[in-house]
Amino acid sequence: MAAVAGGFMTKLLSKTNNFWGFIGVCGGFVFSVRFVIQWIASERAGKSIIPFGFWECSVLGSIMVLIHFIYEKDLTGILQSALPLPIYLRNVYLRAAHKTPKHPGNAPRPAE
């Protein structure tokens, strides 16, 4: 088990040795954080919702990972990152066009 963990860390660190690998790893992290944001907002609202931060992290993470996959010339990764990007961008646009929050988890927190 330790050899597997060590091999994983070695591979991860070798990816982050160059700038584009670092961008890819950071993009994957940003993309993953969106689920934590959604979970916290849903807990606050008491129901399942998708907050604006979810879409922001989706866009930013996808673009960062897409840049990495373009650098690596990985067609599967490029398609995986690029195809959902218009949906994420559309949701960001719709949210900006309708500035009033529709869900309690998206509303600003009242002053205490």
**So what's the pLDDT on residue 21?**
86
Instruction: Give pTM, 2 decimals.
Output: 0.70
Query: Over 80: is that where the pLDDT of 11 sits?
Result: no
Residue type, 4: V
Give the span between the Cα atoms of 43 and 14, in whole angstroms: 38
The burial of 66, by beta-carbon neighbours within 10 Å (0-12 exposed, 13-18 middle, 19 or more buried), is given as buried
- Cβ contact 35:49 at 8 Å: no
Q: What is the mean pLDDT of residues 33-46?
A: 92
User: Measured at the alpha carbon of residue 103, what is the angle toward residues 64 and 54, in degrees to the nearest 5?
Assistant: 10
Output the average pLDDT for the chain. 83
